[in-house]
Amino acid sequence: MAGSVHIGFAKLATPTKGTIFVLTDKTLALSETASKVAADFPATLKKAAGTAKFEGGVLKLLDLLAPAGSSADRIVVVGLGEPDKMQLHDWLRLGGKIGGALASAEQVTIVLDRADAIPVEADQAAALAQGLALRCYRFDKYKTKPPENGTPAKSVKVTISTAGNVAAARAWKTESAVADGAAFARDLVNEPANALGPVEFADRLLALKDLGVVVEVLDEKALTRSKMGALLGVSQGSVRPPRVVVMTWKGGKAKDKPVAFVGKGVVFDTGGISIKPAAGMEDMKGDMGGAAAVAGLMHAVAARKAKANIVGIVGLVENMPDGHAQRPGDIVTSMSGQTIEVLNTDAEGRLVLADILTYIQKKAKPTHIVDLATLTGAIIVALGHHHAGMFCNKDDMATDLAAAGTHTGEKLWRMPLDPEYDKLIESKNADMKNIGGRWGGAITAAQFIQRFVENETPWAHLDVAGTAMGSPASDTNQSWASGFGVRLLDQYIRARFE
Ligand code: BES
Ligand code: MN
Ligand code: ZN
């Protein structure tokens, strides 16, 4: 699933064919194995480096085509700069850089061996492989012709040749599960809404059963029986019926309560009767990025057999403006019993989250809750595309999540919650209204969601509107959808619950 690249590990040896990647550092030194890729290679490297002004800096590449004294097609020298200063995330990015430099190669060997003779650790090798896989992800299922230039459509075989190949291969088994989870999330977000309605989304989640996830699909009747008036209000303007899907992974002790992940899954957000402007509305096919991240996370934890109890829930609806659509001013009763005055039908995500939060708390009594949602344009105004907004009612949980963000490069920035902001969603006619006025829109949205968290359960809300899709291309992602949240939350689970 992780793109068109197949990655394997082999014992350290000097390759002779295809495209070969070797490592160097800021001294331009090579390991013994790497120095043998061509006759007199250390001298060739020094000369070529001088011409190309290549200094072995971290994440820098030097490309040598048809190298003399070698039967290889191409040798690419990869800079580590000062290798000891590299964080795990730098190894991931390095894998991404390599993935971006495969060009039309079909057979690739990476000689993963340091010039300073310090072994490349298994987790570093696996991070590199993961970065490579993430970078090679492509959403091209609707392309009927291959691209004119660049990477070939057919699959590439990459062999990572390293001294610790057995341990690295074991670590890669885990990391490839997570890369596959991210690819699963990206596929869902990239898919156009005509192909992916609530029912089709739910059907795709059934595939998680093969990994041992218990998947329950609630249809419209079941949602009505559960009295999910807020979610159903959003859905009622669409001809496509809603779904809620609960995914359960039991990898921990039977008696332990789970951690819950909750995702906004608006398969398309027109705004409803409070309709959005036409320009850019196509991006709202990605308004299920939170739900996709929860799905990708469930894939990841199940495929790597996480030793924790985890439950995921997604609310899948389409926000459309037909004759049945809800109107501004309508008052709906949420599953929690709290009433909501819907003053803007485009503030729909919080209505969906409210009911699935209540549902999952009743059903699973989670110890912690993390929700993810492409919830507000305001968070993009505040943070742009490089941090997701984090709202959290417990400092230690916020610290754990932020640490997972730094570790994976899926960064979070904490935003405030405060009773003063909560006042802004008081309603004259109901218990609350679904908008808070012009300022602090991401915060009032978070305050709204907090009203559905019971008994001070540790809870975090991640507003991923700026990071789940449409973020700039990076070393590890070239597609519109990023899969943001899968690696972050997998790391959070590993560090905190396993
Ligand atoms: N799905 C949007 C938020 C969004 C905007 C996601 C841009 C990704 C990119 C959400 O449902 C929405 O429309 N929010 C409104 C809330 C407002 C009406 C209070 C917004 O942000 O404008
Ligand atoms: Mn909206
Ligand atoms: Zn939305």
Judged by its nearest atom, the ligand closest to the C-alpha of residue 282 is: 1
From 276, 350, 375, mutation site for ligand 1 pocket: most ligand atoms within 8 A of C-beta: 375
Atom number in ligand 1 closest to CA 274:
18
Question: Tens digits of per-residue pLDDT, 311-327?
Answer: 999 999 999 999 999 99
Question: Tens digits of per-residue pLDDT, 261-299?
Answer: 999 999 999 999 999 999 999 999 999 999 999 999 999
Question: Tens digits of per-residue pLDDT, 120-140?
Answer: 999 999 999 999 999 999 999
Judged by its nearest atom, the ligand closest to the C-alpha of residue 281 is: 1
Inter-residue contact 96 to 132 (CB < 8 Å): yes
Active site residue 93: no
Q: Which of 148, 86, 144, 73 lies closest to 114 in space, CA to CA?
A: 86
- Report residue 155's pLDDT band, with 50, 70 and 90 as the boundaries: confident
Atom number in ligand 1 closest to CA 441:
19
Question: Tens digits of per-residue pLDDT, 336-356?
Answer: 999 999 999 999 999 999 999
Q: What is the pLDDT of residue 361?
A: 99
Q: What is the pLDDT of residue 149?
A: 62
pLDDT at 84 over 70: yes
Q: Which residues line ligand 1 (CB under 6 A)?
A: 269, 287, 344, 346-349, 374-378, 435, 441, 465
Active site residue 350: yes
Half-sphere exposure of 463 (CA within 13 A, CB side): 30
CA separation, residue 3 to residues 145, 182, 243, 485 (Å): 17, 11, 29, 19
Question: Tens digits of per-residue pLDDT, 402-415?
Answer: 999 999 999 999 99
Q: Tell me which residues have their CB within 5 A of the ion that is ligand 2.
A: 269, 346, 348
Q: How far apart are CA 169 and CA 7, in angstroms?
A: 10
Q: What is the pLDDT of residue 18?
A: 97
From 234, 273, 326, 346, mutation site for ligand 1 pocket: most ligand atoms within 8 A of C-beta: 346
Whole-prediction pTM: 0.98
Rg (alpha carbons) of the chain, rounded to whole number: 24
Average pLDDT over the chain reads: 97
- Ligand 1 centroid vs 183 CA: distance in angstroms? 25
Q: What is the pLDDT of residue 152?
A: 52
- Ligand 2 centroid vs 375 CA: distance in angstroms? 7
pLDDT at 2 over 50: no
pLDDT at 150 over 80: no
Atom number in ligand 1 closest to CA 319:
11
Q: What is the pLDDT of residue 430?
A: 99
Judged by its nearest atom, the ligand closest to the C-alpha of residue 271 is: 2
- Report residue 242's pLDDT band, with 50, 70 and 90 as the boundaries: very high
Residue count of the chain: 498
pLDDT at 63 over 60: yes
Which protein residue has the closest C-alpha to ligand 1 atom 13?
346
pLDDT at 387 over 50: yes
Instruction: Tell me which of 36, 97, 114, 350 is the catalytic residue.
Output: 350
Q: Is 167 exposed, middle or buried (0-12, 13-18, 19+ CB in 10 A)?
A: middle
Q: What is the pLDDT of residue 1?
A: 40
Q: What is the pLDDT of residue 318?
A: 99
- Report residue 151's pLDDT band, with 50, 70 and 90 as the boundaries: low
pLDDT at 3 over 80: no
Question: Tens digits of per-residue pLDDT, 168-226?
Answer: 999 999 999 999 999 999 999 999 999 999 999 999 999 999 999 999 999 999 999 99
Say what percent of the chain tops pLDDT 70: 98
- Ligand 3 centroid vs 71 CA: distance in angstroms? 55
Which protein residue has the closest C-alpha to ligand 1 atom 22?
377
- Ligand 1 centroid vs 301 CA: distance in angstroms? 30
Half-sphere exposure of 291 (CA within 13 A, CB side): 33
Which is it for strands 61-65 and 74-79: parallel, antiparallel or unpaired?
antiparallel
- Ligand 2 centroid vs 299 CA: distance in angstroms? 27
Q: What is the pLDDT of residue 339?
A: 99
Q: How far apart are CA 106 and CA 18, in angstroms?
A: 7
Q: Which of 244, 254, 249 lies closest to 221 in space, CA to CA?
A: 244
Question: Tens digits of per-residue pLDDT, 458-469?
Answer: 999 999 999 999
- Ligand 1 centroid vs 347 CA: distance in angstroms? 6
- Residues 6 or more apart whose CB falls under 8 angstroms from that of 462 comprise 290, 370, 371, 372, 373, 388, 389, 390, 391, 401, 412, 485
Instruction: Tell me which of 227, 240, 276, 496 is the catalytic residue.
Output: 276
Half-sphere exposure of 381 (CA within 13 A, CB side): 10
From 376, 380, 449, mutation site for ligand 1 pocket: most ligand atoms within 8 A of C-beta: 376
Q: What is the pLDDT of residue 153?
A: 47
- Residues 6 or more apart whose CB falls under 8 angstroms from that of 265 comprise 198, 201, 288, 290, 291, 292, 314, 315, 316, 317, 352
